[in-house]
Amino acid sequence: MPKRRQTRAGGRSRSGGQRPRGNPAGRTAPPADARPALAIPITPGASGTRQAVERFSARPLVFLAHLPKWVPMLVALGLLITGFLVPGLIGAAALLLVAIFLGWLGYMSWPRLNTAGRVMRVVAMACMAALIVWQARR
């Protein structure tokens, strides 16, 4: 594979294989601790209980934000499949874990939702409650 020619900003080639100024590798990397932290703002004008829940939820939310997007989805899908396939209390417990997770995310996003989004969260929670009761009686 032929060696690629280094060029300057104006498209002119570098003379004599000179390296660009900067660190020896020619690239500048941000320090390891310079990774931007996700800020979890407290909802303005919220009650003391909501502010406490938001402060408590900050670490788990940051942890979830740093995971690959497919990991929480795969865990939730595994719990849903377990909840539907395993009859009785074990299946109901798996569905209950999914319902708790959905309820927590719904509670955290509630102030930013419009009316349609809030209605959909309530409908989803009602469906999960019905599924849990149905699975527990199976």
Range of the domain at 129: 111-138
Q: Is residue 134 part of a domain?
A: yes
Number of domains the chain is built from: 1
With respect to residue 123, please indicate whether it lies within any of the assigned structural domains. yes
- Is the pLDDT at 52 greater than 80? The verdict is yes
Is 56 domain-assigned? no
The pTM assigned to this predicted structure is 0.65
Q: What is the pLDDT of residues 94-126, one digit of tens each?
A: 999 999 999 999 998 888 899 999 999 999 999
Whether residue 66 lies inside any domain: the answer is: no
Instruction: Provide mean pLDDT across the span 70-84.
Output: 94
The radius of gyration of the chain from alpha carbons, rounded to an integer in Å, stands at 25
Q: Does residue 55 form part of some domain?
A: no
Cα 80 from Cα 61, distance rounded (Å): 21
**Contact criterion met (CB below 8 Å) for 110 and 121:** yes
**Where is 63: in which H helix or E strand?**
helix 48-66
CB-neighbour burial class of residue 25 (10 A; exposed 0-12, middle 13-18, buried 19+) = exposed
Is 120 within the bounds of a domain? yes
The verdict on residue 115 lying in a domain is yes
